[in-house]
Amino acid sequence: MDYPVIVLAQPRAVRLVSTGRLRGPVLHLLLDDPSVATRSSEEAHDLARALAEIEGGTNARLMAQAARSSIFPSGRPHANFVNAAFAYWRPRERNRFNDAGFGAWYAAFEKQTAVVEVICHISRELERIRHWNAAVEWSEMWASFAGSYVDLRSVDPPPDCLHPDVEVGYPPGNTLARETRDAGHNGIVYRSVRDPGGTCLVALWPHAVQSVTQGVIVRTTWSGSRTPAIEIS
């Protein structure tokens, strides 16, 4: 790996997370059953714990997290969102800097770049099914990042891993990510492939994602057009 390595101190970078991930455990809806209200607080607590264990035994993300519990943070705000990014990945496809086997936390220095990036990914899925009607809500998740990062921003010409064609860019990107982790670096900083002038980073370890806070909701809506409407609340 022959790329610059910097000591990064980035106070804020944003990841857009589908609001579907903000919902509580599905089985916990059973706790709303009227019969639960007649139980003692101890019985209700035991029931909640039992439901959590059942869901944990069938939830792929929770199972992966349990198997690698030593690397996942706990007891800090929004740790579950950080852990989800690393414990769950697309099973049959790679991303630019991670494949099926280990997740990553992607973020952008500016909100605009984060929006452009998620629109690109959803648009690619809609193109596959040739159905340009969808609505996705996202929550901003801001975090800070520090430590050693491979820095691709000044590399000229841009490396193959930043090629806009995913078939060309993703394989070398995954190779670089593995080399970066093996070298003990926290991640990679790079120019956004989808938003000219934007900057992105990928954290390759859960502990590298610090001081997570939730921001506003962003709604993207496709109504028969390849260009979605964007609303911020």
Report the candidate in 119, 145, 99, 87 with the shortest Cα–Cα distance to residue 226.
Answer: 119
> How far apart (Å, rounded) are the C-alpha atoms in residues 92 and 225?
28
Residue pointed to by tokens 């648009």: 123
Domains of the chain by residue range: 5-22+84-232
Average pLDDT over the chain reads: 83
Q: What is the mean pLDDT of residues 160-177?
A: 96
59: tokens are: 């939830």
Distance in angstroms (rounded) separating the CA atoms of residues 90 and 187: 20
Alpha-carbon distance values, 94 to 43, 72, 128, 137, 173 (Å):
44, 21, 16, 23, 10
Query: pLDDT per residue over 148-168, tens digit each?
Result: 999 999 999 999 999 999 999
Residue 28: band (very low, low, confident or very high) from pLDDT cuts 50, 70, 90: very low
